[in-house]
Structure 1
Amino acid sequence: MNIKPVRTQGLRRQRLALAVLSSLAVAPMAHAQSNTEAELRARMSQMETMMQEMKTELDALKAEKAAAVAAPAPAPTATAAQLDGMGKSKSSIQSTTIVPKGDGATFSYGGFVRAEAIYTKTPDGEIAENSLGRRQYAPSSIPIGGDGEGIDLNTTAQHSRFWFTLDNTTANGDKVKGHIEMDFGTDLNGNQSSTNSYTPRLRHAYVSWNNWLAGQTWSNFQDPSVLPEAGPILGPTEGTVFVRQVQLRYTRGPWVFSIENPETILGPYQGGSRISSDDNNIPDVTARYTAKGSDGQFSVAGIVRQLRYQTLAGSTNATGYGVSASGKMALGKRDAIMGMLTAGKGIGRYLGYSLNPDGTLDASGDIDAQGVVAGFVGWRHGFSPKLRSNVYYSMASYDNDVDITGLAINKSSRSAHANLIYSPVSNVDIGSELIWGRREIESGDSGELYRIHSFVKYSF
């Protein structure tokens, strides 16, 4: 270790050197100028005093050197990278490492930032401002019979999202997981006039323990793994089962069973505003079987549910049910196909952002469950590792008793989509999708939508 002398040490050494030189010079001068014994004794006494002072100085220097060697090393000087723009050393974000609770636990996070621009033309009227249809492909929002055409440009970053997950394997081998995910995809407190601030909303929040799961996530009746990569967050809307809700789920190999949050959406007799009854007292029950292979997978799911509506005069009940088959398959290294087909009665809220209700109240107040067939098919092609395209077609057709529902209820919806997505660097996607959509009601009237939905996305 190199010890640098302090300033006092240098001064003392200078004084020591001067004292020695002085003594050497004074001695011969004294001898030459005086021969008396008294004068010689005085000179000798003076020299002894100076030598004692020199010894004291040397002892002090040795003590200081020993103390410097024993002292701890000084803190290193901050480097330029550790200094902020004001020239002050940056403080640590936190004083200790994040340590998840539980032995063997790991913490992870992720999400994406997504900016979107949506240019829309609707020949039969304008989509309502701040509605879901301005930001997503929502078939129920396609105008029918409006005055003039609507041409709109909307931009948003509110579909950006983030999630946190904690995985824990106990000493007994039990696997426990907690997951929570949020985005800003609601119009609550949002505006486009100044801040474009949107309220965070809950997407997923669940805990799993070995084969059990409890909390909010995708319905077991839905298969999100087969959805094509799309410009909108949900691409083939009318042909897709799409619900997130609280549930209790059990998985056993390829089988998954669940009981899920019940909710009945009804249409009034001969049309009018929808009714969210919230009167159910039996959960929706689902089951799914999935077979996986090296080139793809195939899955089939079923659902049975209660439709219920209660008034002061009493309650009325009906049964809803459905079957959904879905799958995807690789066709070589660059191509893949995917699709879904769903059919049933009384499952309206599970399809197309509730394009149609689960059922309609008849003249006597009983529930008439409505039938539906819906599905989509898609094809993905990779031009290169950085460039790919998706083409898909989606549809839904409803079996309505117009004597009960009236003529304003949705009869069908369909859409065609084609996109091109480029990834210049890892985790960055730049894409644009062309969309055509059409909605028809039982009266025979219809409306169309033409859209370009572009986005930039960074996943982390």
Structure 2
Amino acid sequence: MQRRRRPLATAMLLALIAPGLAPGLALAQTDREQALEARVAELERVVEQLLARQPGTGIASTPAPPPAAAPPAAAPATITPQANPGTRFTVGGMVRVDAMATHTTDGDIAKSTAGRDFYVPGSIPVGGEGVDTYLDSHAKFSRLWFDASTELDSGDKLGARFEMDFFGGALGNTAATNTYGTTVRHAYLTWNRLLIGQTWSNFMDTAALIDSVDFVGPTDALVFVRQPQIRYTHGPFAVSLENPETTVQPAGGGARVITGDNSVPDLIARYTHKGDRGHFSVAGMARQLKYEPVAGSPDSTTGFAATVSGLVKLGERTDLRYQATGGEGFGRYIGLATVQQDAMADASGNLNALGGWAAYAGLRHMFSPALRGNVFYARSQWDNDTDLTGFGVTRRVHSAHANLIWSPVPKLDLGIEAIWGERTLESGTDGELIRLHTMARYTF
């Protein structure tokens, strides 16, 4: 390679510098000659660089281009929330499986009804023949919920909750698929102190609920209603306008009527005091009762009710939970509207508000961080006008419960509850229920 490059380089250099060198070949080296030699050396270096860049010389090849960069991997699909910046999203739920063995003294509870899934005192058979013990199991009370909360730069606070379970009708059955329909439990929004949407009634004290294995527990007496509403809360006070509905016992007895005729929302106000040893709460309600029968004239009346409830700590491991409710025209607010009605109708459709009272109390004790137990009793009694209703309507329901709930690891509960319940009609006929209810629940 050097032999090919030197002759060419030397020839080019001689051609460039010959005129300046010829006169001085016989003379001694001078400063000018030294400068010329330096110039020659520099020119030679430049020529070599030029030759190295020429294609086809074999002296140096053009550097290979760097390998093409691999195309960037496709970005993973993302979920882009449409909410306000800074919104916090939370998802949770529970998987719950219930199994229960039931014995009723006066006939069996109808299959595929709520009374086969949890304790419903209004479904206790009365006046029939005794039957063998029967077993039911399901996962209908499993749930899923979503929360969103935002605090804006203005200081406003926004929130929302959506919750569903599977306690609804479906095409499946226990012989094959055991499918259940999805049902909406809660769907509401909050803006500062204002709540709009479906959630627990303001007439209900959720902080006084019994820690039961049964889905509800003291169903005979518990205020238990979820419905659409507008509620304003300020400190310990809350006032709401809630979805109205009237349930009516027709003249002479028979199946209840859910009228759908109301034109004025239920008005409810509540005050709650909280302290180191628990809380105390009182609420009052005024509501319209209205009925437009197929035959007869429309009629309406007014219902009133009050409730007191609370939780009292009796020590580090024990607490008392209670509620007492009374008034006229509040029947649908007790026990998922399964115990009694709001009003009685005469043959002309005239309404009479049904009076009554309901109460429960229960003790909860922590035997250890992983084991707790509850005992509680519930009762409600109703003032039927038998001239209007006949003697086949419910006069009284009551029940006693005892349970143990074991939590071997956080968020996992395994429970067992013994239940005795009784329903008595105005005729004096009664029926009893004895049930052993078990539950496994994982909350996430």
TM-score normalised according to structure 1 size? 0.81
For 1:237 and 1:111, the matched residues in 2 are separated by 23
Q: Name which of 202, 213, 217 aligns with 2:199.
A: 217
Name the counterpart of 2:7: none
**Aligned equivalents of 2:112 and 2:210: distance in 1?**
26
The Cα offsets for residues 127-160 of structure 1, whole Å up to 9 and x where unpaired, read as 0000100001000111111123242100101110
Q: Structure 1 residues 56, 287: CA separation in 2 closer, same or farther (over 3 Å shift)?
A: farther
The residue aligned with 2:141 is: 159
Q: How does 1:111-122 map to 2 (within 5 A)?
A: 111-122=93-104
Query: Sequence identity, in percent?
Result: 44
1:227 maps to 2:209: yes
Q: Counterparts of 1:139 and 1:393 in 2: how far apart (Å)?
A: 13
| Matching of residue 323 in structure 1 with residue 322 in structure 2 | no
Q: Measure how far apart 1:99 and its partner are.
A: 3.7
Residue 412 of structure 1 corresponds to which residue in structure 2? 396
Residue 224 (structure 2) aligns with:
242
Alignment match, 1:281: 263
Secondary structure of the structure 1 residue equivalent to 2:283? strand
| CA distance, structure 2, for counterparts of residue 274 and residue 96 of structure 1 | 51
Does the Cα contact within 8 Å between 1:100 and 1:107 map onto a contact in 2?
A: no
Corresponding residue of 1:295: 277
2:113 to 131, 137, 142: 131
Aligned twin of 2:126: 144
Q: Secondary structure at the match of 1:147?
A: coil
* 1:2-401 → structure 2 map (5 Å cutoff): 56=58, 59=61, 63-64=63-64, 67=66, 95-99=77-81, 101-311=83-293, 313-354=296-337, 355-401=339-385
Aligned-partner SS, 2:387: helix
Q: CA deviation at 1:300?
A: 0.3
Q: Which residue of 2 aligns with 1:450?
A: 434
TM value normalised by structure 2: 0.83
Residues 103 and 171 in structure 1, CA contact (< 8 A), matched pair in contact too: no
SS for the counterpart of 2:368 is coil
Distance 1:439 1:57 in 2: 109
1:439 matches 2:423: yes
Q: Quick one: distance in 1 between partners of 2:364 and 2:189? A: 34
- 1:58 deviation in Å? 7.1
Paired residues of 2:344 and 2:353 also in contact (CA < 8 A): yes
Are the counterparts in 2 of residues 100 and 106 from structure 1 also a CA contact under 8 Å? Answer: no
CA contact (8 A) 2:93 2:143 kept: yes
1:39-93 Cα deviation digits (max 9, x unpaired): xxxxxxxxxxxxx99x959756xx35x836xx658999xxxxxxxxxxxxxx99x
Aligned positions, number: 390
Q: Specify the SS of the correspondent of 1:339.
A: strand
Contact kept in structure 1, 2:168 and 2:181, CA below 8 Å: yes
Distance 2:436 2:198 in 1: 32
SS at match of 1:407: coil
Is the Cα–Cα contact under 8 Å of residues 149 and 157 in structure 2 kept in the other structure? Answer: yes
- CA spacing shift, 1:443–1:59, aligned 2, 3 Å: same
Q: Corresponding residue for 1:80? A: none
Answer whether contact 1:104 1:169 (CA < 8 A) is retained.
yes
SS in 1 for 2:188: strand
Change (3 A) 1:348 1:95: same
- Whether the 8 Å CA contact 2:331–2:342 is kept in 1: the answer is yes
Point out where structure 1 has 5 or more consecutive residues left out of the alignment: 1-51, 77-90
Letter in 1 for 2:249: G
Q: Would the alpha carbon gap of residues 74 and 141 (structure 1) be closer, same or farther in structure 2, given more than 3 Å must change?
A: same
Post-superposition shift, 1:275?
Answer: 1.1
